[in-house]
Amino acid sequence: MSAAGSSGWLPRLACPVIKLHEGGRHTGNSLMRDAGVEQELRMRTVGHSDRSVNDRYTHVLIEAHMAAAERTAELVRKAGPGHDPHECYPGVDFSPSP
């Protein structure tokens, strides 16, 4: 039994237990992808030998958020004058980061 399980302190922390498989491979692989790490290196890091498996563990985080922000900004622009963020916040660059 692990130290956490035998001593009983883990349940009292009220923190969810995230297994390495869930938190490490999925999140780690996705963050590495967003950081520009090539797939071959990501695969070696998380222990995948097949690209299709690695693809299932890769979740597009930054692009998805940027696309959602752009769709929201477009709705605001369509709402009419006075609702365009460029008019409300002159000088602020709302373009997506590279």
Residues 54, 65 within the same domain = no
User: Residues 53, 17: one domain?
Assistant: yes
pLDDT at res. 2: 47
H or E, element range at 88:
helix 85-88
Residue 11 above 60 pLDDT? Answer: no
In this structure, are 8 and 48 located in the same domain? yes
Q: How far apart (Å, rounded) are the C-alpha atoms in residues 26 and 60?
A: 11
Same structural domain for residues 67 and 54? no
Q: Are residues 82 and 55 in the same domain?
A: no
Q: Residue 89 belongs to what domain range?
A: 60-98
Contact 65, 94 (CB under 8 A): no
Distance CA(79)–CA(71), nearest Å, equals 13
Considering the domain architecture, whether residues 46 and 30 belong to the same structural domain is answered as yes
Higher-confidence residue of 91 and 67: namely 67
pLDDT per residue over 88-97, tens digit each? 667 777 776 6
In this structure, the answer to whether residues 52 and 71 fall within a common structural domain is no
In the prediction, which pLDDT does 49 show?
92
Q: Is the distance from CB of 96 to CB of 71 less than 8 angstroms?
A: no
Do 2 and 37 lie in one domain? The reply is yes
The answer on 43 and 79 residing in a single domain is no
Same structural domain, 40 and 73:
no
pLDDT in tens, 15-65: 666 665 666 778 888 888 888 899 999 999 888 999 998 888 888 777 777
Q: Are residues 47 and 65 in the same domain?
A: no
Q: Considering its fold, how many domains does the chain have in total?
A: 2
